[in-house]
Structure 1
Amino acid sequence: MRKLVQKFGGTSVATKENRELAIGHIADAVAAGFHVVVVVSAMGRKGEPYATDTLLSLIDSTGIAKRERDLLMSCGELISAVVLSSALAEKGYENCVMTGAQAGIKTNNVFSDAKIISIDPGRILDELDSGKIVIVTGFQGMTENGDITTLGRGGSDTTATALGVALNAERVDIFTDVDGIMTADPRIVDNAKKLRTVTYGEICNLAYQGAKVIHPRAVEIAMQKNIPVRVRSTLSKDEGTLIVSQTDLDRLEPLAVQDRIITGITYTAPVAQVHITCPQKEKQQLKIFETLKEQQVSVDFISVRPEDVTFTVADADRMKVESTLQELGVEYKLLPDCAKVSAVGAGIAGVPGVMAAIMEALAEESVEVLQSADSHTTIWCLVRADDLVKSVRALHTKFDLHL
């Protein structure tokens, strides 16, 4: 049995016209001989009647337990699933709808940010065997004692790839409102190109560093069983971007690594840089990080030396960080309105001169680099937010990503 998982995002199911396009993709898969599992998000985005954020606006989130909040948040996907089911039935496609729980998705009990612990796909397989298209509500599962949970940011993507792994699907298609994954944000770089093929590692790094087309958690799950993931547009028949292992990339595009040292440029903004002088060294450093953890502040871009600590935080957490550091009585400097620009590519490792090229490109644009770091697939530079646009454009041009 050839199995394909197709996930349709909120814009893909928000209107009758877009649902017709989604059904076209489902029909194409059926005609190609696939048994199809469809995962849906809630309809539309904030402000539209059945979007998750709209549902949340009906309650005071500060005065309700997360367990009950998850019950409300799970409603949007159920509405999408039933509406799509009706539209498919009208066209003669036999189908059935399953909640995350009915699809066998078991999670831990961390409400609003649950993690999948197991999937029993037996019921899905039975329905596929009977010739039905199975529609599963994304973004949700069930605890061992029967409580409904939601999976947090990127939850529907995660549902899709987790089902792909559990079903040993041939592929997972993530349908959205863009044609695929680009070499840079097209709102900043006019000549950004669509990537034909990327590795799991590259797209995880692009996603963690700011690209929002697919959630990295979903990609990491697909990577467990080497399930290819394709990011496509609901609005066209374009094949989009295929996400595969490095081995498969070498097979599909033998010259990709040599030709493409850098795959894409992305960014995170706004962030604030924090520099702390630590005369008491290790004990004070530990106290700082423990206190920020207690305050639910996520730190990034961390540099720890015996005499000082430097890191970044989301700009939204800046005031909380300042208050915390003042209470601790430490000497610090805080620089707001910064941006972390990232150059990502599987070809970086072992190639001399990449950092030199980055510094040259930024220097030519008179961009001051406030902080930098690297891994085997990513080089990060912290710049002022005012320099974000010209930094991204300069690096995109420097590595010929427009060609």
Structure 2
Amino acid sequence: MKFAKRVQQIKPSPTMAMAAKAKAMAAKGISITDFGLGEPDFNTPAAAAEAGIRAIQQGFTKYTPPSGTEELKEAVCRKLKKENNLDYEKKEIIVSCGAKHTLYNIAQVLFERGDEVIIPAPYWVSYPDQVLLNDATPVIVETREEDQFLMTPEQLKRAITPRTKAVILNYPSNPTGSSYTAKHLEALAGVLSDAPVWIISDEIYEKFIYDGVAHTSIASLGPELKRKTIVVNGVSKAYAMTGWRIGYAAGPKEIIDAMGTVQSQSTSNPTSISQKAAAAALQGSDAFIKTMVAEFDRRRLFVVERLNQIRGIRCPRPVGSFYVFPNIKGLIGTGYKGYQIKGSTDLASFLLEEGGISTIPGEAFGAEGYLRLSYAVSREVLSEGVEKLKNAVLKLS
């Protein structure tokens, strides 16, 4: 059987693949500490869950408009105004089946053969593949640990060509936890303001920010930037609603309309029940978020301190998200029995099979020599997992 060429260019999500392997081992009775998937371990806020239950009880279980309900769009508009200093009308909002779906809709609308899309590395694993699925070319800009894994204006300027269609910014970052401050964004804006390039601003981790750093949306830096930016967000992370599958985008009406057309011919509307729950989450108290982020901050400091005590590992302290991205280059070239650690994939496999710890290799994010660990697990699990990791590394020589 011959498949379309686009399918042959991409690979399954490495994060999902590692999670599946870890779950298969756990099903055999092997104790696995999972630092792989990025999913808050908190339950959905009660107000959102109750709104979903009421939606079922009241029969709100039918089709909605393909691009989302008016109620949820209005809630998104209020959120963007209050929290991000961004004014949008409902016609400039689309609700989709998760932020990943939102990003794919953008790719469908904007990218085609001959286009180039700038993606700073380390990057979220789906960015390059979504570009490839739409026949465009990912242009990877390799950032440096000493620059906090942030793309510099000079790097951006060098990467832009007459074929550049868009640049994807993700802040705070999955996988590094780094984030662009207003000052960083203004420097990038100095390059982007005069370039005929779309800005895709993935801000799904905006609530997970620490050390007094403030989140600023690049779209809020001026009318010209807002006109060329599509802001992507959702309720999955901030409200622990990953399974509800609600993401959204805000941007110029012509882009949002085109995304709505694509969505109407693919998934149609997001789940009606989930939209009710998402509206309740966005309109509710932020006490839940403050509690969750405070706990994640404590875990962040704990795991960074413990990882930095392990031979061969150096872990920068991230300012955002709920991931750490330790440098494991000091372990490359080591081995144990049949294991030879030639890179991050080898180390991740060794840690899973020999240590019972699930991590994601940096290679999957375009950054060899690193691992991604999620600390969206309880402190007990975190402590146990880091101890297992230390004991596994001690075997390497």
User: Going by fraction, where is strand more abundant, 1 or 2?
Assistant: 1
TM-score range for the pair, normalised by the shorter chain length? under 0.3
Higher RCO (CA 8 Å, separation ≥ 6 residues): 2
Rg bigger for which structure? 1
Q: Comparing both structures, which one devotes a greater share of its residues to helix?
A: 2
Q: What TM-score comes out, normalization by structure 2 length?
A: 0.28
